[in-house]
A and B are shown apart, each in its own frame.
Chain A
Amino acid sequence: MRTYVVEPQQIFVPSLLHLLQESGLSIVRVRDVLDPLDVLRTRPQMLFCDCDAMDDQIVQGLQFLSDSMPELDVCIYSRTEPLSPRVRMRAPTRLLHLEKSASHEALVSALGRFVVNA
């Protein structure tokens, strides 16, 4: 699955990419901020977004993408309450929420299931 990664924490990028590849994802682009137009141009199958701070800019960006690319799967990696992004986006996009406290194994397992069911 062609995956676009938004990860603002440079320190974390190598570990995260290793985890995503181990989960069967193919990384097509890594950015430190969510740029919806760039996602649109890249046309990934999945957007993996580390949004520790779910600010308005991120929510608006996700909503724009849900409208423009309804087939895009979205994975939110955050501490926030699991369904709030979907509620705020009000979109049919397939959504996976991963909690930051999850272990490496739990994350790989959840992502693997998500990919298989795509």
Chain B
Amino acid sequence: MIPVTTTKTRIFIIEEQALFGKALCQLLAAEPSFEVLGDLPRVDPASPPRVGADLVVLDLNGPSIDYADEITRCKQAFGNARICVLSTQLRPEIMQRCVAAGADAYLAKDVSPSELIRAVKTVANGESYVDPRIAGSLLRKRLLSDGRMSSDELSEREGEVVRLIAQGLSNKEIGVRLCLSEKTVKNHVSRILSKLNISARAQAVVYAIRMGLV
């Protein structure tokens, strides 16, 4: 019989808020495919924890911190580990700064437990992940500044629908969220596809990727 081996993703957590760090440890340790190696309040490249982490969940907050510098320090301390940033900042420009500095994921700190686990799994699989709310916001900005959109901009409601599509919601779910009928949502989606000059909602996500959102 061939033995079955499973490789767990080894995770280290950098979180200044001690209690939140412990909450993250508990949540991630409960996932069978993860192994939580420990947590620290901050990164010290001079004496990095010698733990061989595959992935670091890095808390970055505060108006005065240098996001790129913190990510560089983290990469120095943890070598090739992938980096998943957690932040209270929802501003797309901060997310872009983090991704440019080498972060593999960027999530708002009020993310749901299930979404955090999904994001960590995505990053552990070698892909990238950006909080859909932030990606949606950036998408709207990019779309509005794109020449193709100048004469035919998305309305505020269409922008909301795009954001929810990016979150993976169906028309029915979007309808519930926005208190609209499914038919009305369908009409919004049709107009959005027309304005973006695409034929399927999945292409909206592809479009976001091409725009450098993820």
Contacts and interface: CB of A to CB of B under 8 A. Distances in A.
Interface stretch (B111-119, B140-148, B169-177): B111-119
Contacts of A41: none
Contacts of B112: 10-11
Interface in B10-35: 16-20, 22-24, 26-27
Interface residues of B, number: 20
Given A11-B111, A53-B88, A79-B62, A104 B23 contact: no
A115 interface: no
B22 A9 contact: no
B41 A104 contact: no
Contacts of A12: 19-20, 23
Contacts of B41: 101
A109 B21 CA distance: 19
A40 interface: no
Interface residues of A, number: 19
Contacts, number: 53
A16 interface: yes
B116 A11 contact: yes
A78 B211 CA distance: 36
B110 interface: yes
A101 B23 contact: no
B111 to A, nearest CB: 7
B61 A79 contact: yes
A15 B26 contact: yes
B18 A10 contact: no
B110 A100 contact: no
Interface string A1-42: 000000011111011100100000000000010000000000
Contacts of A16: 19, 23
16 contacts: A9-B20, A9-B109, A10-B111, A11-B23, A12-B20, A14-B23, A14-B26, A15-B22, A15-B23, A16-B23, A19-B19, A52-B88, A101-B16, A101-B17, A101-B18, A102-B18
